[in-house]
Amino acid sequence: MIDFTAAQIAEITGGRLVADPDIIPTSVVTDSREAVRGSLYVAKPGEHADGHAYVGAAVAAGTVLTLCEREVKDDGGTTYPCVVVPDAVLAMGALAKAAVARIRADRAGRGERFTVVGITGSAGKTTTKDLVAGIFRTTPEGSATPASTVAPQGSYNGEVGVPLTVFRADESTRYLVIEMGATGIGHIQYLADMVKPDIGVVLFVGTAHAGEFGGVENIAKAKGELVEALATEGTAVLNADDPRVRAMEPRTRARLAFFTSHPEANAALAERGTLVAAHGATVDDGGSPVFDLAIGSEAPVHVSSRLIGAHHTSNLLAAAAAAHAAGVSAAQIGESLSAQGPGSRWRMQRTERADGVTVINDAYNANPESMRAALQTLADLGRGRRTWAVLGAMLELGDESIRAHTAVGTLVVRLNIDRLIVVGREARALYVSAVNEGSWGNETTFAETADEAFELLEHELAPGDLVLVKSSNGVGLGLLGDRIALAAPDGSTPHEERS
């Protein structure tokens, strides 16, 4: 973390200091249970709890300063050391913005480069973020020290998660990779103003959060805020295979890079920017993407990924384009992409049980597009095996929810998935749709809870079965996927295929 004194924090955030002005926090936390010696604890109001109630616990754990919206006193009536601000979350953002500016200035003063990569899109952000960070960490600059490449833990991609990622960086950081999520117009603009990305990647515009945005066109408008924020010397990395993303080209003044799985159809884009293309894209017997990567005029390199699913070809290309814009060679990029597996939990996370059952846990996120991709992967990998789809709700779809779940239920049947378990009432339209499409008897089952689904699977799974578990994170099926993966009947330890 960049060293800021309490007095500087108060000045940056416009807060009122009630503490020793020379205190210098060494880390930032928003959960009192994560507080350690030297922490700055942000007492933000939450949906279920007010962080101000845990100031005392944070201080007991070692917190030296609190960023809060009101003073909190100990049992003796003494105010805990704090900076009082009108809005703790906005204050976090202001402090993060100052931290990025300090890192950039300090490194420039030493003649050293600092590159910020921002990544947004309706699906694939976390996987692409992991891939980009993985590429950077294989370069001499990115791996020089543990802090040389900083990227989010999990899916820290909002107004709280992005600052927390920034606070892990310091003057030794060469690359800062930022995942940017949004649930409304202006959110990406706010995050981009905070971190000032040099490279902006837009992956895909889908229907995730369509209910909150008020339609897919508003999603496209919001995602494009990232490329609008780029400076002339920056690079906008656009998905040429998505018409809504490709249409963002006029919205940026930055240099352009396009990535595509259909190079013949998009060859003309090479005249307007760098073309990053997958030639001969296919999947191997394990369902992993394989292709020849061509970046601009550099010699093509072969990529044989360890990720699962043809849809990851687009994420691999996006990561390649971002890394190349940062100065990494095609050869280095290809070597790194071929070595990387899933970097974050519950994203096509494959486990081979000792009894021959394969579990693919993809329950961190779900929207109509990612659901279709995962089910297609299940069908492709499941040839000659009995396939199970254990599906929960896709959240935040608004008025499109019933229609979207109905479409997924129909797709499960048309892909000839052998068994379907639908978990939870929010996904019941999916179950009804599958039944109406002709999936009868025990082919389709509705379970009220994850426990019910687990009991059914525990009794009916057989050696050789292939199980996909997928839902939005808020449904909680990721934990069900973990239980299934660890439930090998002989008590042996399953093998989880991860990097």
Residue numbering of the annotated binding site: 121-127
Instruction: Specify the amino acid at residue 259.
Output: F
CA distance 174 to 201: 18
Task: Give the dihedral sign, CA 403/406/412/416.
Answer: negative
Q: With contact defined as beta carbons under 8 Å apart, do 136 and 149 qualify?
A: yes
Query: Given strand 444-447, what is the order of strands in its sheet?
Result: 444-447, 419-423, 387-391, 466-470, 358-361, 349-352, 495-497
Hey, which bits of 240-318 come out as E strands? 255-260, 274-283, 289-295, 301-304
333-336 long-range contacts, Cβ below 8 Å, gap at least 24?
333/135, 333/293, 333/295, 333/301, 334/293, 334/301, 334/302, 334/303, 335/138, 335/301, 336/134, 336/135, 336/138
**284 burial level (CB within 10 Å; 0-12, 13-18, 19+):** exposed
| Nearest Cα residue to 309 out of 130, 127, 499 | 127
Give me the DSSP letters along 448-470: SSHHHHHHHHHHH--TT-EEEEE
DSSP helix/strand/coil, 394 = coil
Residues making up the annotated binding site for ATP are 121-127
- Would you say how long the chain is, in residues? 499
Instruction: Specify the amino acid at residue 140.
Output: P
**326 burial level (CB within 10 Å; 0-12, 13-18, 19+):** buried
Give me the DSSP letters along 12-26: HHT-EEES-TT---S
CA distance 92 to 158: 12
Report angle CA 22, 24, 28 to the nearest 5 degrees: 145
Q: Cα 475 to chain center, whole Å?
A: 17
